[in-house]
Amino acid sequence: MRGLLINFSYLISAIFFIFGLKLLSSPISAKKGNLISAIGMLIAIVATLVSKEIVDYTWIIAGLLIGTLIGIYIAKKIQMTQMPQMVALLNGFGGFASLLVGFSIYYYDMNISSFTASTIFLSILIGGVTFTGSLIAWAKLSEKIAGKPLLFKGQRLLNSLILISTIVFGIIYSISPSTTYTYLLLIIILSNILGVLVVIPIGGADMPVVISLLNSYSGIAACASGFVIQNNVLIVSGALVGASGIVLTSIMCKAMNRSLVNVLFSGFGSNTTKIKEGEKKEAKSAIAKDAYFVLEAAKSIVIVPGYGLAVAQAQHVVKELSDLLENNGAEVKFAIHPVAGRMPGHMNVLLAEADVPYDKLVEMDDINRTIDTVDVCIVIGANDVVNPSARDDETSSIYGMPIIEVDKAKNVFVLKRSMASGFAGIENPLFFKENTTMIFGDAKKTIQNIIEEF
């Protein structure tokens, strides 16, 4: 009877996870989806504790309290600009937890079956790659190390040799786990080295893809850990995270018109592309008062947010400006590129924080159909996702990447601190277009100045 009740609780948890994941697909219902998923996890934890003969709860309670305090601190203190690197760290900790689970099961009982040993091998391999790979992603995103791809001769060969060696050691370990403890230690070392080597050649422009891929890895590692400890709900939840991460990775790649292999191995961003001198013209610049006169007369306005919006913490003043423009009789929309920012959905979350209505957020394909009728496009901190080179210059490294075609609007205001290139390291011809005007300075202050004019 007890076992039946435990399994029923796991089933309820799995249903909560799936339903919560469904609700996470929309910003309108995401908060509710988070809560439902959290309740499902609580049910799973309680059921697991009840199912085990636990003599001392001291460490469990201590871990619960410490984890809760850390979670509250993160929720309260971490800024939106730090969210991508925070997500990278959380992915890494998930992978490290799977590695520790696999190792601890073997360490306390080496007389295990070959099947259990193979699942331990997978949880350690994937967990180790996820852990150190996520640390490198965190370091790049937080600018602790250079965001550009780090390439060296024979890199792919070295990665291949390490992966093949790890798999060979894993097979040897799985065949005879009781006598191959040293091989497991080698697997731990090599998997962590591999995690570093597979992420360092990836540039900052591809970080949204890397984060979603590492998220998938952490789920797969958790799923493997579920087989190790024979826990059905961990298998289900890990599979859900792994599958959703793969789907999201596919969406990100499609949004850049690149394959996953190209993202992982091309070293994108290691070479910068310059605008040809014959094509380069003088960029026009203006001040907030000049922009006000144009915006005051405009009837249709599209705002394109990028990572610079997050850096300037300008989301709230952007919402205030959009309200003023609407009160002035203009139609205001927000055009969202799938890979804008440094993690999937970064701009959606940022604007939701400022209470921008979700129905005002328009996807790239939809806005491009009517963008030539728009009076003014305001580009705030975006660069590569509005670069016309992706459409017009076959020699550009981003050629073929779908963009928000703001250059087709009647007027374009680009809010930037300088003329510097974006994550991809490519100069942007948009800045030199006849219909483009640059407004230099901190985006938040610039928008505040425009609001004061209104």
- Residue 216 is inside which H or E element, if any? helix 207-229
Q: What is the mean pLDDT of residues 140-148?
A: 80
Is-catalytic flag, 206? no
What local confidence, expressed as pLDDT, does residue 280 receive? 56
How confident is the model over 238-285, as pLDDT tens digits? Answer: 999 999 999 988 888 887 777 777 777 655 555 555 555 545 567 888
How confident is the model over 1-16, as pLDDT tens digits? Answer: 777 888 899 999 999 9
Is residue 272 within 8 Å of residue 426, measured between CB atoms?
A: yes
Rounded to whole angstroms, what are the CA distances from 283 to 279, 322, 378? 12, 26, 16
What local confidence, expressed as pLDDT, does residue 321 receive? 94
What local confidence, expressed as pLDDT, does residue 24 receive? 86
Q: How much is the pTM?
A: 0.80
Choice among 56, 355, 384, 392 that is catalytic: 384
What local confidence, expressed as pLDDT, does residue 299 receive? 94
Q: Which CATH class is domain 288-453?
A: alpha beta
Rounded to whole angstroms, what are the CA distances from 141 to 86, 147, 211, 385? 9, 7, 10, 18
How confident is the model over 396-440, as pLDDT tens digits? Answer: 877 888 899 999 999 999 998 887 776 666 788 999 999 999 999
How confident is the model over 194-207, as pLDDT tens digits? Answer: 999 999 888 766 77
The pair of structure tokens assigned to 112 is 């295990």
What local confidence, expressed as pLDDT, does residue 349 receive? 82
* Cα dihedral value 431, 146, 71, 28, nearest 10: 30
pLDDT-derived band at 58 (thresholds 50, 70, 90) equals confident
The pair of structure tokens assigned to 124 is 């350690």
Is residue 136 within 8 Å of residue 196, measured between CB atoms?
A: yes
Task: Say which range, 7-21, 246-260, 290-304, 353-367, has the weakest mean pLDDT.
Answer: 246-260
What local confidence, expressed as pLDDT, does residue 424 receive? 61
